[in-house]
Structure 1
Amino acid sequence: MRAIVLWGILAVASVAHAGTPLPDGPHVVTSGEGKLSVAPDMATLRLVVEKRDASPAVTKQQADQAVNRFLDALAKRRVAAADITASDLGLSEDNGRNDAGRRVSNGFVAERSIEVKLRDVKQLDAVLDDALAAGVNHFGDTTFGSSREEALVAQARLLAAQDARHKAEQLARGVSAQVGKVYSIDSTGSSNSARYRGDELGTITVTASKDVPARYLQPQIEFKERVQVVFDLQR
């Protein structure tokens, strides 16, 4: 029986990450994973205003006016100034070539980007409508988050540690041993990502009238933590 116990211990110990300290005596190394999925309560929008005109002054004015209209709308929705980032103006000439190969000007392009953190995700649709009405014409990625992220990460890490212990106990029972004290524990991975589920929601047009209901994807944020634990074994 002793030979079987030691063989099982060595086989399990071989999966330890490089650099992980291991005890001299009998031990078991296990990895655990903890996952939590929650609905987001925050969102970060990335938007771009792009305007074109033959006059650089007019192009700049149009871009600035669109940004100012959007910022005014955000203020009315009580979005804090600290949660808004608006870039400086980027102005360039759009040059091309005519059929004869000569350089021609296609006018000027003015561009400004805006990033908005919404601490109430329920405002998302209305703010997107505000952006369209203001003249924003490019919409980038929208990322979702939770105001409880720190607590959720800690909870997922606890679940990962519990999972690691459960696996260690299963392995120990297989070789007629018992799990002893924790020798070391390391975090080996931390991530969060948005997963989506289908839902029926009404769309809101720029004029705020109801449109035909459409299917949207509502995110769920998954917090995932991984740990590796080394336990002493008692025979």
Structure 2
Amino acid sequence: MNKIFGIVFFLLLCQSVSGANLPDFPFVVSVGSSEQDVKPNIATIQLGVMAFEKDSDLALKTVNLASTSVIGVLKKYGVPVGNVEASDIEKSTKRKRDSDYNTLDVLGYEVSRSITVKLENLSKYSELMSDLVAINNVSGARTAFDISNRKEIEAKLMETASKDARDKAEKMAISLGTKIQSVYAISQASNFSEFFATFGARSEQIMADMAYREGSYNTVMFVPKSINVKQGVNVVFRIK
């Protein structure tokens, strides 16, 4: 088979488990999963605007000028003002240090801020990003792509993952000459270790890694063909 079932079978008198925290009946724990590749239709862009100058006023003016340029580009591509959020400006003093790490003369001042942009239309994403990264003092442009109907898709995937967990548990039970009786507990796969901890099981006993990951930010100049949406579920089934 292409995939390991990812099922950990526990009995009441299993070693290395705190029996006081375990159900007082035989059970099987099954991990179900489901995923789907979908085309993204929204995105969140994060930009950093930073300037370092000997004169703090000049550094502040440089950051403000770059911020104004960013807003201008966003307006050019029809991004609503309500979809743009800018952080407060941060300022820090940079000083020389000698070999003993003593603070010496001021080298200059670093002024920075971050800008977050929510895009509801990706048709001109590449052109928008090209214009943004071309602005002086803009750095760290990162994008997280997503779908507007994520909740709906995740709900369907959860149904499939739950069925997957039951199917795997039934196969395990049948192989041991028994049957599934009822559902005792359910938890999302993102809480896998905590889920088993409620029964006193040690982390060393957990043989399946079903950690759910949110889409991470990356510097991307083009819209990906698809993003992966996944759901996982842990289920404790009572067996006869």
1:165 Cα deviation from its structure 2 partner = 1.9
1:78 Cα deviation from its structure 2 partner = 2.3
1:106 Cα deviation from its structure 2 partner = 2.9
Higher strand share: 1
Identify if the C-alpha distance between structure 1 residues 227 and 58 changes in structure 2 by more than 3 Å, giving closer, same or farther.
same
Partner of 1:226: 233
Structure 1 residue 124 corresponds to structure 2 residue 131 = no
Partner of 1:84: 84
Identify if the C-alpha distance between structure 1 residues 106 and 231 changes in structure 2 by more than 3 Å, giving closer, same or farther.
same
Q: Structure 1 stretches of 5 or more lacking a match?
A: 1-10, 196-200, 205-215
Partner of 1:60: 60
Structure 1 residue 30 corresponds to structure 2 residue 37 = no
8 A Cα contact 2:37 2:226, kept in partner: no
CA distance in 1, matches of 2:77, 2:226: 23
8 A Cα contact 1:194 1:219, kept in partner: no
CA distance in 1, matches of 2:98, 2:171: 75
1:35 Cα deviation from its structure 2 partner = 2.3
CA distance in 2, matches of 1:72, 1:18: 64
1:143 Cα deviation from its structure 2 partner = 2.1
Indicate the structure (1 or 2) with the bigger Cα radius of gyration: 1
Partner of 2:165: 164
1:162 Cα deviation from its structure 2 partner = 0.8
1:80 Cα deviation from its structure 2 partner = 2.5
CA distance in 2, matches of 1:35, 1:115: 28
* Number of residue-to-residue matches in the alignment: 203
Cα deviations by residue, 1:17-56 (Å, 9 ceiling, x for unpaired): 99998585x7654332222232322222221111233332
Q: Structure 2 stretches of 5 or more lacking a match?
A: 1-8, 191-211
Paired amino acid for 2:35: K
8 A Cα contact 2:42 2:145, kept in partner: yes
CA distance in 2, matches of 1:106, 1:143: 36
| SS of residue in 2 equivalent to 1:78 | coil
Partner of 1:107: 108
For residues 193-204 of structure 1, what are the structure 2 equivalents within 5 Å?
Answer: 193-194=214-215
8 A Cα contact 1:153 1:223, kept in partner: yes
Partner of 2:155: 154
Partner of 1:8: none
1:174 Cα deviation from its structure 2 partner = 3.3
Structure 1 residue 142 corresponds to structure 2 residue 143 = yes
| SS of residue in 1 equivalent to 2:155 | helix
Partner of 2:208: none
8 A Cα contact 2:146 2:227, kept in partner: no
1:114 Cα deviation from its structure 2 partner = 0.9
Paired amino acid for 1:230: F
1:70 Cα deviation from its structure 2 partner = 0.7
Paired amino acid for 1:227: N
1:124 Cα deviation from its structure 2 partner = 3.2
State, as a whole percentage, how many aligned pairs show the same letter: 21
| SS of residue in 2 equivalent to 1:134 | coil
CA distance in 2, matches of 1:79, 1:177: 60
